[in-house]
Amino acid sequence: MFISGCLADWSLAKLEFIHFAADGPTLPFWLVLLWLLFSITFEQCYRWLSGKLKVAALLGGLFGPASYWAASKLSSVSIQMPVEFTLLSAVFWAVLFVAFIKKRSLAA
């Protein structure tokens, strides 16, 4: 999950959907740490979603884009194409969240 999340955000930046305040060839350090913490706590926090894939898709589709919107309000990220980005990230995070939940369910 850590690598998937970092690659997803790096790809979004390279495709110019998002722009980080700290411009550089890599992700900002704070975002790498955020992905590390999220990947460490994911299983404990979302264990209750095992077998509830529609709910997982809904949560990923809603809160994935919402997290970028919140970061943009904190001035650490700017969203370049708001409508396209919101639609793309909603679908992307809905699918990815379900995949993470399935992977965790199979591993349990």
| pTM as predicted | 0.81
Q: How many domains does the chain have?
A: 1
Return the amino acid letter for 86: T
In contact, 9 and 70? CB cutoff 8 Å? no
Q: What is the pLDDT of residues 2-35, one digit of tens each?
A: 998 899 999 989 988 999 887 677 899 989 999 9
Q: What is the pLDDT of residues 26-83, one digit of tens each?
A: 899 989 999 999 989 988 888 888 889 999 999 999 999 999 999 899 878 899 889 9
**Which domain range does residue 66 map to?**
2-107
Please enumerate in sequence order all residues whose Cβ is within 8 A of that of 81, keeping only pairs 6 or more positions apart, or say none.
17
